Amino acid sequence: MDRKVINRKGFRKLWEVAKRALFSNICFGWLTLTERFQGFVFFSLYFFCCMQRWNWNLDIAGIQVINSFLDYEDELLADNPPPPLSLGAKMMRIFIPTAEISLPVIALLQFLLLRYAPCTPPFIMSMQPKCTERARFSVVQLGVHVFEGWMFLHMLLAGGCWVIYALFTGIVSILSYFSILNRKIEAIETEANLNTSIQFYQRIQILEKSYNSFLRDRILPSMILCVPGIQIITQYVTLNHHSDIAMPGFLVFPLIAVNTGMTNVLAFTLAAFVNSASEKVMETLGKKASLLPGKKSLIKRRIRGCSVLKVKFGSNFIDRGTPLVMQTFCINQTVSLTLIKQGKSVHLGVLDKYVYADWLEKIVN
């Protein structure tokens, strides 16, 4: 059997064993409630990364999407100047390199945390019933920590690969194409100019179809399932168990909470702008068509044949109110968990999501 196939199968088995061992330790191990919450954060990261996983089946869909965007940009920028960067694009230019750097840094911080506090749940050493009494330096302990850091690094790279290079960069690219298209639409004077703009939009629509076919079944559903859950738990641990977790290990939790919050707000807000920008382009094309002389029935049929673009997950899509709904849910659940300890209940009202979305869109654009 080919060595690469053996290595792939070996990694998959290691990931499955690690994931099940962490889950078993959280559910059935000798852990306090605080330690279970602490361990659940790391397990959620492992679970999210395993859902993203490496391209075990050698599916070429992901790299085809990236190559399609690159080929289209080479042709597009040959005839058009690059568009000015919006605030959202500038923020994403900072966010993407930061995410790239943070993946190995998080794995390194986990290794240092385990060296400082070897019994940190839900890792291997914490599975011992009297871990704190055996937390002395040994070669075996060092080897276990190196193995866990190596495993976590592979999981983070697998989980972040398509999220960074397909999801985030694809959203920014589509919004940049709309910026170029808007400039073309403003310069429309003849029917030929309008047909060129419609063809431009249809090519973006083809990219959107291939983009969604890769993301909608695994990448985006796993993000929507896991990232808010991780944010809720880390916020709860940060607010309620800060005195129970020794420094510097505690700093991991507010750091993860900030990162997940930024992902929910920034990434999903820009993904929602794909839908709103597409609606505006369709509306503008219709207005331009009505101002041109001559027969307009054929042009209007071509415009009606173009559909509004959406970033999809499963059978749903991300609209303007999705980021606010997610953040409201995260805050609501965090406060509810906090007040459960005091025997109280809480209900947070939801703001008008479309009012908020309009306000946020004006700021980012």
Nearest Cα neighbor of 23 from 51, 1, 43 is 43
User: Domains in the chain: how many in total?
Assistant: 1
**349 pLDDT more than 60:** no
CA pair distance 114, 120, nearest whole angstrom: 6
CA pair distance 187, 310, nearest whole angstrom: 26
**Of the given ranges (87-91, 227-231, 246-250), which has the lowest mean pLDDT?**
246-250
With vertex at residue 263, the alpha carbon angle to CA 361 and CA 40, rounded to the nearest 5 degrees, is 150
Residue 355 has which token pair? Answer: 């009012």
Residues 48 and 230 sit within 8 Å (Cβ to Cβ)? yes
Can you tell me which residue has the tokens 């999981």?
Answer: 155
Share of the chain above pLDDT 70, in %: 85
Find the mean pLDDT for residues 180-206: 88
* Top-confidence residue, 144 or 57: 144
Give the pLDDT of residue 7.
56
The H or E element that residue 317 is part of is strand 316-317
Residues 308 and 278 sit within 8 Å (Cβ to Cβ)? yes
Confidence grade of residue 278 (pLDDT, cut at 50, 70, 90): very high
Nearest Cα neighbor of 335 from 267, 257, 239, 264 is 239
Residue 118: partners with Cβ closer than 8 Å, 6 or more residues away: 125, 131, 135, 141, 145
Find the mean pLDDT for residues 34-60: 77
Residue 6 has which token pair? Answer: 């053996």
Query: Which residue type occupies 227?
Result: V
Residues 189 and 52 sit within 8 Å (Cβ to Cβ)? no
**Of the given ranges (222-231, 290-299, 303-312, 322-331), which has the lowest mean pLDDT?**
290-299
Which phi and psi angles does 317 have, rounded to 5°? -145, 165
Confidence grade of residue 78 (pLDDT, cut at 50, 70, 90): confident
Question: What is the residue range of 152's domain?
Answer: 3-364
DSSP 219-235: HHHHHHHHHHHHHHHHH
* Top-confidence residue, 311 or 17: 311
Can you tell me which residue has the tokens 């053996």?
Answer: 6
Residues 365 and 280 sit within 8 Å (Cβ to Cβ)? no
Can you tell me which residue has the tokens 């919004």?
Answer: 175
**17 pLDDT more than 80:** no
Find the mean pLDDT for residues 124-133: 76
Find the mean pLDDT for residues 226-241: 87
Give the pLDDT of residue 55.
60
CA pair distance 217, 120, nearest whole angstrom: 34
Find the mean pLDDT for residues 95-119: 82
Residues 153 and 46 sit within 8 Å (Cβ to Cβ)? no
Q: What is the pTM of this model?
A: 0.81
Find the mean pLDDT for residues 162-181: 88
Task: Give the other-Cβ count within 10 Å of 186's Cβ.
Answer: 10
